[in-house]
């Protein structure tokens, strides 16, 4: 049979043509156009559907059918010129390996895609979008060196983004990374491109962070520690001393030249160390004790004016430091060096914490 052309309906058990099949309605078991194309407004093929190219406008219902071709072009091209969906696939399956639309790249070589989505004309277009109550899009790799989900922006200029994660919930997480909780596994790895590829940053499965350098807006190292009494009665900038009546606890300083001086209540630690696990509830009851670095500190001029470079010790004013002048009492009592001046009264200046 050459071409099949019908302005009305075509219905038969099997329709085969070496050329083109064109009809308004095609109802059949098997449809074959071995060298041409199939064009139909409505096509119902309960058996098989085979063509060099197939363009189908309207309703496609192939319950057990097959659409296949040996061609470098599309096996199926669905062109929606309006505002509707080009393809609307619905499945009631509960099998996690099945879906309304499944894409498989079966070639044993090359870089084929099981599902490829492109939006190349609209600046606000989306190549692939997934919407669900659970997981919108999931990517699985079964290869030893495979990648579950990859994001690549191919534009060589501009402030481009390879992968963007966003949440709208105030208690949500924009990114969650899971890996076995052992040091040999990595939660995050940051690499430079080019040759050779170099690892610059990583977080292992035990929560340890490795990097060549850290930069923070704050400039001190602090230890999280318990306070004697209610934590809310302490303030950032307080000079703190070791509480001799307890273990791993500090109190507000209250006497001059105390050798129990431990550090300063940090305003915003650049690095905070703790003996607890991350997000442990015990952290809510502790304060950051700056032991190294530069922090704001409460100071008093009760022992004379303070100038930059003066050695500071505890004072009789609770929580305040003063200039140290009695060298015989300063060993073990120095909390740091003044980086600012105070002429009289009390105030707050920056202090270089140097316990000695």
Cα separation, 310 vs 285, in Å, equals 33
3-state secondary structure 122-166: CCCCCCCCCCCCCCCCCCCCCCCCCCCCCCCCCCCCCCCCCCCCC
Cα separation, 188 vs 54, in Å, equals 46
What pLDDT score does 72 carry?
61
Structure tokens at 342: 């105070």
For the chain, which domains are there?
4-68 (no CATH), 183-213 (no CATH), 220-354 (2.40.300.10)
Structure tokens at 134: 């659970």
Cα separation, 153 vs 163, in Å, equals 8
Phi/psi of residue 96, each to 5°? -65, -15
Q: Closest by alpha carbon to 20, among 36, 42, 8?
A: 36
CB count in 10 Å sphere of residue 335: 28
What pLDDT score does 139 carry?
80
CB count in 10 Å sphere of residue 248: 11
What pLDDT score does 90 carry?
76
What is the β-pairing status of strands 49-61 and 346-354?
Answer: unpaired
Rounded-to-10 torsion of CA 85, 87, 92, 93: -140
Cα separation, 43 vs 10, in Å, equals 10
- Print pLDDT tens along the chain (356 aa): 555 555 555 555 556 555 555 555 555 545 555 544 555 545 555 444 544 444 443 334 343 445 555 556 565 666 666 777 767 777 777 887 777 777 777 777 777 777 777 777 777 777 777 777 878 878 888 888 888 888 888 888 888 888 888 889 999 998 888 888 777 889 999 988 888 889 899 998 888 889 988 888 888 999 999 999 999 999 999 999 999 999 999 999 999 999 999 999 999 999 999 988 888 999 999 999 999 999 999 999 999 999 999 999 999 999 999 999 999 999 999 999 999 999 999 999 999 999 99
What pLDDT score does 57 carry?
38
What pLDDT score does 60 carry?
41
> pTM of whole model > 0.75?
no
What pLDDT score does 344 carry?
96
C-alpha of 117 from chain center:
23
What pLDDT score does 221 carry?
94
């Amino acid at each position: 049979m050459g071409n099949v052309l019908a302005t009305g309906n075509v219905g038969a058990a099997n329709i085969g043509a070496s050329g083109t099949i064109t009809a308004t309605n095609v109802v059949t078991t098997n449809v074959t156009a071995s060298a041409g194309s199939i064009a139909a407004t409505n096509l119902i093929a309960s058996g098989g559907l085979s063509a060099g190219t197939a363009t189908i406008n309207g309703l496609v219902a192939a319950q057990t059918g097959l659409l296949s071709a040996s061609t470098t072009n599309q096996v199926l091209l669905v062109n929606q010129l309006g505002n509707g969906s080009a393809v609307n696939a619905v499945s009631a399956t509960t099998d996690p390996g099945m879906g309304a639309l499944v894409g498989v790249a079966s070639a044993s070589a090359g870089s084929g895609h099981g599902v490829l989505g492109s939006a190349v004309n609209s600046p606000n277009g989306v190549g692939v979008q997934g919407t669900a109550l659970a997981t919108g899009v999931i990517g699985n790799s079964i290869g030893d060196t495979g990648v579950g989900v990859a994001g690549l922006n191919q534009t060589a200029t501009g402030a481009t983004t390879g992968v963007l994660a966003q949440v709208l919930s105030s208690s949500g997480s924009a990114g969650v990374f899971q890996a076995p909780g052992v040091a040999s596994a990595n939660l995050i790895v940051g690499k430079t491109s080019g040759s050779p590829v170099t690892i610059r940053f990583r977080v292992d499965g035990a929560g340890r962070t490795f990097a060549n350098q850290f930069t923070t807006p704050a400039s001190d190292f602090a230890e999280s520690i318990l306070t004697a009494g209610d934590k809310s009665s302490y303030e950032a900038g307080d000079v703190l001393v070791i509480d001799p009546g307890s273990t791993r606890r500090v109190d507000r300083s209250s006497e001059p030249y105390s050798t129990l001086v431990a550090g300063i209540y940090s305003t915003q630690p650049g690095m905070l160390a703790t003996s607890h696990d991350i997000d442990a509830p015990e952290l809510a009851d502790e304060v950051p004790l700056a032991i190294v670095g530069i922090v704001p500190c409460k100071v008093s001029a009760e022992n004379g004016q303070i100038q930059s470079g003066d050695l500071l010790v505890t004072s009789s004013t609770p929580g305040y430091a003063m200039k140290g002048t009695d060298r015989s009492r300063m060993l073990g009592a120095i909390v740091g060096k003044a980086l600012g001046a105070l002429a009289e009264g009390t105030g707050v200046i920056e202090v270089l914490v140097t316990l000695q």
